[in-house]
Amino acid sequence: MNKTELKNFAIQSRRQLIDKVKTKALLYGIDEKNDLEIEEQYGQLMIKDKSYPLYMKPAFISLKNQLKQKGFKQLVEEVAYTWFNRIIAIRYMEIHDYLPEKVNVLSSNVGRVDPDILFEYETMDLPVKQEEIRELLHAGDTEGAYRKLFIAQCNALNSILPFLFEQIQDYTELLLPDFLLDAESVIKVLVQNDELTNSFEEIEVIGWLYQYYIAEEKDRVFAQKSKYKKEEIPFATQLFTPKWIVQYMVQNSLGRYWTEAHREDEDLISNWKYFIKHEEEDFHEKIALYVNKELRVEDIKLLDPAMGSGHILVYAFEVFFQIYEKCGYPERDIPRLILENNLYGLDIDDRAYQLAAFAVVMKAASYSRRFLRSVEREGIQLNLASIQETNYVSDDVFSYIAQEEKGTRFEAVKAFFKQYNNAKTYGSLINISERDITFIKERLEQIQNNPVQDLFFSEEHDIAKEVLPDLVRQTKIMRNEYDVLVMNPPYMGSGNMSKELSDFLKKSYPDSKADLFAAFIEKSFILGSNSAIISNVTMQSWMFLSSYGKMRKKILREKTIDSLLHMDNNVMGIAFGTAATVFKNYYIDSYLGVYNEVTYKDIQHLNRPSSFPILKNRNNTTSLEKFKKITGEPIAYWISEKISNVFQEGNELSTYGDARRGLQTGDSNQFIRLWFELNINKIFLDNKNYESDISKKFKWFLFNSGGNYRKWYGNIIEVVEWFNNGEKIKSTGKAIIPSEDKYFKQCITWNKLSSGKFSVRFQRKGIIQGDASPFFYTENNSNLKYIMALLNSVITVELMKILSPTINFEVGNIAKVPVILASDLIPQIKSLVDENILISKEDWDAFEVSWDFKKHPLVNSHSLQNANNEWINITKNRFNKIKSNEEKLNKILINIYNLTDEFNPTISDNDIAIRTANLSSDVRSFISYFIGCLLGRYSLDSEGVVYAGGDWDNKHYSTFNPLPDGIINFTDTVYFENDVIVRLREFLSVAFSSDTVDENMQWLAEALEMKKGEDAEARLRRYFLDEFFADHCKMYQKKPIYWLVDSGKQKGLRTLFYMHRYQPDTIATIRFEYLQEIQAKYQNEITDLENRLVNPNLSASEKKKLTAEKTSFEKKMDELREFDKRLAEIANEEIEIDLDDGVKVNYEQLYRGGKGVLAKIK
C-alpha cells in the first residue's frame, strides 16, 4: 500500500471536488450569500432562469432543506466527500469484481481510454434510457452520456449499498461535478495511477483514504489552537488505528470472550498473534462466575461507539468468521449473520459512517461471492449509524408526529427528539432515555407508507420521514447492552471543548471530564454487560494524571485490567504516549493483569512488533492491589515491590510545605519582559523579601517563568510589571494570582512544561513565581535543601515516570513525591546542595543573559589563548565537582530509601545541567562583550551592566572609551575613524596587552573558522557584517538590545546601535554621519576603479576583477539611494521609544514589517 500516493490523491481530490461542487451550486444561484430559489411555472421548475422537469422537485426541496440546516460551506463539504466516497467505493468494487453488472464504471478492462460502461451499457440493466445515451454519444457528447450512466450506476447500487448511494432524485446528484472524464478529474487520476490501483487490494485502503481526505482540515483545526466547533470535531479527533493494535484489541476482547466461555475452542488462539495468555493455574477458576459456557456466537453483540471508517469492525468480522466456522455454521450464511447479529457501530461523522458501512459489506463480500446478490434480493439490516441531531426540528414536527399540539404523546415525542440536541457534539456519550418508543415506531411506519393527508403539513411530513428512521435506528443501538466493546475513541482535552460539550461532560461524566477519550472509557462500562470485555486505545494520561484520579480509583475497585499495552510516543504515529487496554467489566480480587511497554524502536522497521509479547521492556504481570499502594493510584505496572513500599513508608511532600502554582498575568505581551529589554533602574534586583513600599519604588520585578532544562540555579531572565502591588495586572480581571503571600520568598522551583527530565532549582528571595514555574515553599528552611536534593535525584526522576509521565509537571503530582526524612544526614546533604547551587550560579552568571553577570570570563589574562585554557579548566572542574556531588547525593538518598538494588547513583554527563567551555560559542560571547563595551553597556572599569537606561556617566569608562553616540558601522574595510576592527584592536590592547593584539586577533579569527586565504581582519569583518546580529538575536532570545540598520543584501550600510542609548535623532545621525559619508567613500572607490580600468596594460583577468569590484560598489550605491529615502522618512518622524514597551513593540516602529530601516530579527 503506497500511503504517499493515497495521501496526495485524497488531498487533491478534496480540493478539486469542493471547487467543482461550488461551481455546480452557482448554476442554481447558490453561494455563501444566496439561497436556492425554486418556482413552478407551466408544469416546470424554474431555477435561476433555467427550467427543470417537475420530477426533480423532491431533490431541489431536499437541497434547499440541507442548505438551511447546514449552511453553504458545510453542505459543499458534505456533497464533496459523498461523491469522493462513492467514487472510491465503485473503484474498490470494480477492482475486486464486486459490481453486480461486472462492467467497469470508472476504467476499462481492455485498455480503452474511456470506461467500459460507455461501450457496454446496452448489456446492463441500469435505470437509464438507452436511446438517450446513444443520441448523446452519436452527437459526440461523451461527457453527457457518461454522466447519465454514472448516475444510473450509483442509483442501481442503492439496492445493495443504500447508505452510500441514495435513491434517485437525491440532492447530491444535483451537485455532482461536471467533466467527470477530464484528464485531471478525480476519476481519471484514480484509475490511471498504478500505485493507487495496487493499494486498493486491501479493504484497509478505505480507512487510510478517509484519514488523508480530512488531513488538511485536521491540520487547520489544530493550527488555530481554539475550541473546536461542532463540524470540526471529526477532523480534530479522527485517528486511524494501526492494524496490529486493532488485532490486539479484538483478539483480547472478542477472542477472549469466546475462548473463556468455550475452552474447547482455544485452538483458535493460534490464529491470533497478539493474544495474551494467562498462565496462572487458577485463572479459569477466578473468572468462572462471569463466564457463560452456554454462550452462542449469534448472541454476541460487539460495539465500536466511535467507529470512524470501520477498521475495527472489519477485523472483528474476521474473528467472528473464525468463531462461526469453528461452530460449524455454513460459510454462505456467516457473513449475513455477523452483519445483522454481531457488529454494531456509531459515529458522529456521516462520511465515516458511509465508509464504515461500505467496508464491512465489502469484507462480507470477500468471504462469499453470493453475498451481494443476496443483499440485492433480500436487503440487509446493518447495525451501524451516523448519529443525527435534532436541533433544527420544530414543535410543529413534534405535533405532526404526536398528532396533537399538547399532551402526553406530544411531550413524549418532544423528549425523544430533544435528547438528540447537539448529538453531533456529544456522540455516543448521550445518555438515552428508557422511555417506551412504540408509538414513535408506529407513527414512523404510517408516515413511510402513507402520503401526507393535508398539504399544509407536507414540510413536517417530509422532515419526519427523513429524520425518524435514523433516530429510531440510533436509539436501538444506543440502548443495547453489549458483550464486547472495542474502540479508539476521540481524544480532545477540555481546553479545546466548546462550552456545550464541557458543560455536558461536567454534568454527565464528572470523573472523566478532562478529556473526551476518558468519558468514552466511562461510557463503555455503562454500555457493557456485567460480564463484558472492553478494549480501547487511548492517551496514556488516564493511567497517571491526577485529573483522572477519581476515574482510576473506580476502575481499580470495580473493574479488572486484563492486559495493557503501554506505547511510547510515535508508536501510533502521533507525538504522545498511548495505552491499549483490555478491561473486564467486573472486579476480581488479585487478578493478575499482563502489561507490556512498546517503544518506537520495537515497531520502527515493520510498523508492528517483530515479536509479541515484547519481553525485554517493562513486561510485567501484576494485580491492581499494587497500584492502590501508590499515592494517586497510578497504573505504574513496572515498579518493583521496593519502590511501591516507598509510597507506604514516606510522607507526601505536601506534609513538609506547599507545592503551589505561580502568577498567570492574563496578558504576557503587556506585563512580561526579558530583563535586558528595560531600563535597569526600574527593576528590583535585591535578594530580600517583599515589603509593600518596594513595589512603589520599582516597576519591574524578577519573574520565574520556566526555561530550558537546568538544575540547582538559574533560568530567571524575565521580569513582570508589579508596580504598586501589581495593581494593573489585578485591574484587568484576567489574571490568576494564586499564592500571592509566597511571592518574593525563598523556595524550590521547576519547569511545569519540560521535554527533558524533571529538575528543580533554588530561587532566592526577591522573585515572583510564574505559572510556568510552580514552586515548593516551606516555613521550615532546615528541610529545604534536603528536599531539593531528593527532587534532583535519580529516585525522583523514576518517581516522575509514575506520578507525572507526561511533559507536564503539575503541582498536584509533585506534592505526592514520598519523602523519607533522615534528620542525621541533613547537614551533609545541605552542604553538598549549597555547593551545587553556588557552582550552578557561577556558571549561570558567567554570561550576559544573567542580571548578575560581572565580566566576560575570557577577560582575565594577557592573551585570549591563555584565558581560554584557564576557562576550560574552570568549567571542567565545575562540571566534575557538581557531577561528583550529585552522585554522592544519589548514593546517600538511595541508601535512605533502601533502593540500592533498584538504582545506580552514577549519572551521565548529559544529565549535568551546567556548561563546559565551547570555543565557538565562547568566542562569540566574547565579541558580544566587546560590542557591549564599545556601545557603553559594559566597561572594563566596572563589573556588570554599567549603562542600560538612566543618566550617562563618563567616569565609568576610563580604560576603554565607548562610542559617543552608541553607534558603530560594519564595513569590509576601514572607512570610518571609529572602525569596528580598529576599536577591537584597541580593546584587545587595553584588556590584555599591546604585545598580544595580533596574536589575539588571529586566535579570534581561527576560532570563528577562516576561509582559505582569508586573514584575521577579513574574517572578523565578515563576522561583524554577516553573522554578529544573528548570534546576538539568538543569545538575547529574539529580543535584541543592539539594533542593526540594514540597507539590504548589497550590504551598503550595516550600522549597529544600542537600544538603550537611542534618541529621537539617532536615525538622522546615522543618515547624515554614516550613510552620506559612506556614499562618498563608495563613489571614491568607483572613480578610482574607473581610472584603473582605462589602463591598456591590464590583463583580462585583472580587468574582470576590477569590473566586478566596480559593479559591486555601483550596486551598493543604487541600494543606498533607495534606502536613503526610507531613512529620511523615519528620521523626519523623530520617533521616540519607551523601553517599558519592550523590544517587540519598539523594534517594529523602525522595522515596519520589513519596510523600515532595521534588519529582520533572526
Tell which of 883, 911, 939 closes a domain. 911
148, 154 in Cβ contact below 8 A?
no
Same domain as 750, residue 806? yes
Same domain as 828, residue 959? no
Per-residue pLDDT at 1032: 98
Across 451-458, average pLDDT: 76
The C-alpha atoms of residue 1153 and residue 639 are separated, in whole angstroms, by 55
Q: What is the pLDDT of residues 221-234, one digit of tens each?
A: 888 878 888 888 88
Tell which of 882, 911, 940 closes a domain. 911
Number of domains in the chain: 4
Across 343-347, average pLDDT: 97
1103 within a domain of the structure (yes/no): yes
Q: What is the mean pLDDT of the chain?
A: 93
The C-alpha atoms of residue 1044 and residue 931 are separated, in whole angstroms, by 13
Across 1015-1029, average pLDDT: 97
Q: Which residues pair with 775 in a beta bridge?
A: 660, 749
Per-residue pLDDT at 857: 96
Q: What is the pLDDT confidence band of residue 46, given thresholds at 50, 70 and 90? A: confident
Tell which of 173, 204, 235 closes a domain. 235
Per-residue pLDDT at 456: 74
Same domain as 944, residue 809? no
Q: What is the pLDDT of residues 199-208, one digit of tens each?
A: 999 898 998 8
Same domain as 163, residue 147? yes
Residue 168 has pLDDT above 60, yes or no: no
Same domain as 1002, residue 903? no
Per-residue pLDDT at 240: 81
**Grid coordinates in use for 1000?**
589575539
497 within a domain of the structure (yes/no): no
Same domain as 941, residue 824? no
Q: What is the pLDDT confidence band of residue 331, given thresholds at 50, 70 and 90? A: very high
**Cα Rg of the chain (Å, integer):** 37
Q: What is the pLDDT of residues 1043-1059, one digit of tens each?
A: 999 999 999 999 999 99
The C-alpha atoms of residue 799 and residue 473 are separated, in whole angstroms, by 49
Q: What is the pLDDT confidence band of residue 459, given thresholds at 50, 70 and 90? A: confident
The C-alpha atoms of residue 522 and residue 1058 are separated, in whole angstroms, by 60
Which of 49-58, 110-119, 189-198, 270-279 has the lowest average pLDDT? 49-58
Q: Which residue has the higher pLDDT, 693 or 289?
A: 289
Q: What is the pLDDT of residues 1090-1113, one digit of tens each?
A: 999 989 898 999 999 999 999 999
Across 719-742, average pLDDT: 94
Which of 329-338, 354-363, 393-402, 499-508 has the lowest average pLDDT? 393-402
Across 927-941, average pLDDT: 98
Per-residue pLDDT at 169: 55
Residue 692 has pLDDT above 80, yes or no: no
Per-residue pLDDT at 1074: 94
Give percent of the chain above pLDDT 90: 74
542 within a domain of the structure (yes/no): no
620, 644 in Cβ contact below 8 A?
no
Same domain as 940, residue 815? no
Same domain as 811, residue 748? yes
140 within a domain of the structure (yes/no): yes
The C-alpha atoms of residue 425 and residue 12 are separated, in whole angstroms, by 28
Per-residue pLDDT at 695: 81
Q: What is the pLDDT confidence band of residue 295, given thresholds at 50, 70 and 90? A: very high
Same domain as 796, residue 769? yes
Per-residue pLDDT at 604: 81
Q: Please give the residue range of the domain that contains residue 140.
A: 3-235
What is the β-pairing status of strands 343-347 and 302-304?
A: parallel
Residue 617 has pLDDT above 70, yes or no: no
Task: Give the single-character DSSP code of 158.
Answer: G
Q: What is the pLDDT of residues 764-811, one digit of tens each?
A: 999 999 999 999 999 888 899 999 999 999 999 999 988 888 778 889
Same domain as 1026, residue 904? no
Burial of 836 from C-beta contacts in 10 A (0-12 / 13-18 / 19+) = buried
678, 949 in Cβ contact below 8 A?
yes
The C-alpha atoms of residue 899 and residue 586 are separated, in whole angstroms, by 35
Give percent of the chain above pLDDT 70: 99
Residue 616 has pLDDT above 80, yes or no: no
Which of 164-178, 329-343, 800-814 has the lowest average pLDDT? 164-178
475 within a domain of the structure (yes/no): yes
354 within a domain of the structure (yes/no): no
Does residue 534 sit in helix, strand or coil? strand
1113 within a domain of the structure (yes/no): yes
pTM greater than 0.85 (yes/no): no
Same domain as 979, residue 876? no
228 within a domain of the structure (yes/no): yes
Across 965-974, average pLDDT: 94
Q: What is the pLDDT of residues 980-1007, one digit of tens each?
A: 999 999 999 999 999 999 999 999 999 9
Same domain as 135, residue 109? yes
Selection from 370, 380, 306 nearest residue 338 by Cα: 380
